Amino acid sequence: MFSIDVTIVGGGVVGCATAAACARRGWSVVLLEQEADVGRATTSRNSQVCHGGMYYPAGTLKARYCVTGRRLLKEFCAEAQVGYDECGKLIVAADGTQIGELERLHALGTENGVEDLRLLDRRELSRLEPGVTAEAALWSPRTGIMDAEGVARAYARQAAASGAQVMTGARLVGLGKSGRMWDVVVEAGDSARDGWRHGSRCVINAAGLWADRVAALAGIDTTAREWNLHLSRGNYFAVDTRHAGRVKHLVYPVPPADGSTLGVHVCLDLGGRMRLGPDFEVLDADPRPAAGFGLDTDLDYRVDPERAAAFHEGARGFLPWLEPGDLTPDMSGIRPKLCAHGFRDFVVRRETDTGLEGLVNLVGIDSPGLTSAPALAAAAADLAAEVLA
């Protein structure tokens, strides 16, 4: 059985960025991704937004990693020639009762280190975005959009160029401690005969929708730690192309008080296509297999057309020109949340309990996980360095 320094489980943008960060340090690295390519699941099934960082409680990992990650992602996309557009975002108050919340977000964002935030009155908003109607807005010019799947692939290429082995179609099926090493068992292809096993001094769990299952496979009581993921679906509806160019910036409502979502907002992609979403659909049952792992692409990503009415109702307050017939079902994504409602911070932890030494867990990496990816990767690599010292 061959041995390596670091095994990374999960080939989303966080896993790929972590592989690149670890390989740059000169360690031998294997990244395991069960899908046919990297960045196919949560990474690509979201708003593709590089968030500013004004939503998250000061001092939390989400606040710190979002602000740092955004700056690093912008630099990385320029260097790697991955699509990125710093288009800016407006958070809009439908009426005067919501202006206080904009002021709170402005103060929080400033405390978190978000640059160039500015409160706009109705007239200033109208000049900046004539297609949007609201009483006031918080303007975040540093918020951007990107090709998230392209970012994941670029990090994977960078990792491979530094000597990492990026293994797709490789599913983790066994993970246990054997002396000072982790025994990593992998299935590949159509049968166990096509797989392998190897020893690893350090294992980094960056498995996204399956991170709690990987932690459990390693021997962690995820129920006791409250690490069992509460998966929810975020749906998107496309806006008729006759409105292309009518809105030039991302537009968000004041977020719901329960913190479950940022609210149904106007999303733009790099081609200028406009969508609304995501909403917050609580899944009554865990869509994953009862035990073990399955492919992310086997999950149900269908969008119910009947949800269009709620989307229209949510957006017409600031898009008065939007008609019900302008909306058609688009895509959905599933979020790896640590709680169904309210705020839970990222889990970024090096295990020190007997029998778990050498394991680094990244669990509950929901939004702003995409924006935070390079900062999460740096933190994971630092924890791996403690293991390998």
Contact 345, 60 (CB under 8 A): yes
| Residue 50 confidence (pLDDT) | 98
| Residue 136 confidence (pLDDT) | 98
Question: In 10 A of CB 271, how many CB atoms?
Answer: 7
Instruction: Please give the Cα distance from 251 to 265 (Å, whole number).
Output: 6
Encode pLDDT of 73-102 as tens digits: 999 999 999 999 999 999 999 999 999 999
Which amino acid type is present at position 123?
A: R
Confidence label for 212 from pLDDT (cuts 50, 70 and 90): very high
Question: In 10 A of CB 26, how many CB atoms?
Answer: 10
Q: Which of 386, 383, 9, 377 is nearest to 158 (CA)?
A: 377
Q: Which residue bears the tokens 């540093």?
A: 142
Of residues 296 and 16, the one with the higher pLDDT is 16
| Residue 261 confidence (pLDDT) | 66
Q: Which of 10, 14, 13 is nearest to 381 (CA)?
A: 14
Alpha helices in 96-200 (DSSP H): 99-112, 122-128, 148-161
Query: 375 pLDDT exceeds 90?
Result: yes
| Residue 259 confidence (pLDDT) | 59
Rounded to the nearest 5 percent, the helix, strand and coil shares of the chain are 30, 30, 40
What's the distance, CA 295 to chain centroid? 18
Query: Beta strand pairing status for 29-33 and 3-9?
Result: parallel
- For residues 5, 9, 12 and 17, what is the CA-based torsion angle, rounded to 10 degrees? -20
Backbone angles phi, psi at 262, to 5 degrees: -90, 0
Give burial (CB, 10 Å; 0-12/13-18/19+) of 319.
buried
The tokens describing 169, both together, are 């179609």
Query: 192 pLDDT exceeds 60?
Result: no
Contact 27, 2 (CB under 8 A): no
Contact 272, 314 (CB under 8 A): no
Instruction: Please give the Cα distance from 218 to 172 (Å, whole number).
Output: 11
Q: Which SS3 state, helix, strand or coil, does residue 142 take?
A: coil
Write down the domain spans for the chain. Answer: 3-45+149-227+344-388, 85-144+234-335
Confidence label for 303 from pLDDT (cuts 50, 70 and 90): very high
| Residue 318 confidence (pLDDT) | 94
| Residue 194 confidence (pLDDT) | 80
Query: 191 pLDDT exceeds 60?
Result: no
Give the best-scoring range by mean pLDDT among 189-193, 294-298, 369-373.
369-373
| Residue 190 confidence (pLDDT) | 64
For all residues of the chain together, what is the average pLDDT?
Answer: 95
Give burial (CB, 10 Å; 0-12/13-18/19+) of 139.
buried
Q: Which residue bears the tokens 């599933």?
A: 334
Cβ neighbours of residue 231 closer than 8 Å, sequence gap 6 or more: 209, 283, 286, 287, 288, 334, 335, 336, 337
| Residue 282 confidence (pLDDT) | 87
Confidence label for 220 from pLDDT (cuts 50, 70 and 90): very high
| Residue 294 confidence (pLDDT) | 86
Q: Which SS3 state, helix, strand or coil, does residue 173 take?
A: strand
- The reported pTM is 0.96
Average pLDDT on 204-225 reads 97
The tokens describing 268, both together, are 């733009």
Confidence label for 193 from pLDDT (cuts 50, 70 and 90): low
| Residue 232 confidence (pLDDT) | 93
Reported CATH class of domain 85-144+234-335: alpha beta
| Residue 338 confidence (pLDDT) | 96
User: Residues 232-259, buried b or exposed e (16+ Cβ, 10 A)?
Assistant: bbbbbbbbeeeeeebbbbbbbbbbeeee
Encode pLDDT of 251-297 as tens digits: 999 987 665 566 789 999 999 999 999 999 988 889 998 888 888 88
Instruction: Please give the Cα distance from 255 to 261 (Å, whole number).
Output: 7
Range with lowest mean pLDDT among 20-34, 227-241, 261-275: 261-275
Instruction: Work out the percent of the chain whose per-residue pLDDT is above 90.
Output: 88
| Residue 153 confidence (pLDDT) | 98
| Residue 256 confidence (pLDDT) | 74
| Residue 290 confidence (pLDDT) | 84
Fold of 3-45+149-227+344-388: FAD/NAD(P)-binding domain (3.50.50)
The tokens describing 366, both together, are 């929901």
Encode pLDDT of 149-166 as tens digits: 999 999 999 999 999 999
Average pLDDT on 216-224 reads 97
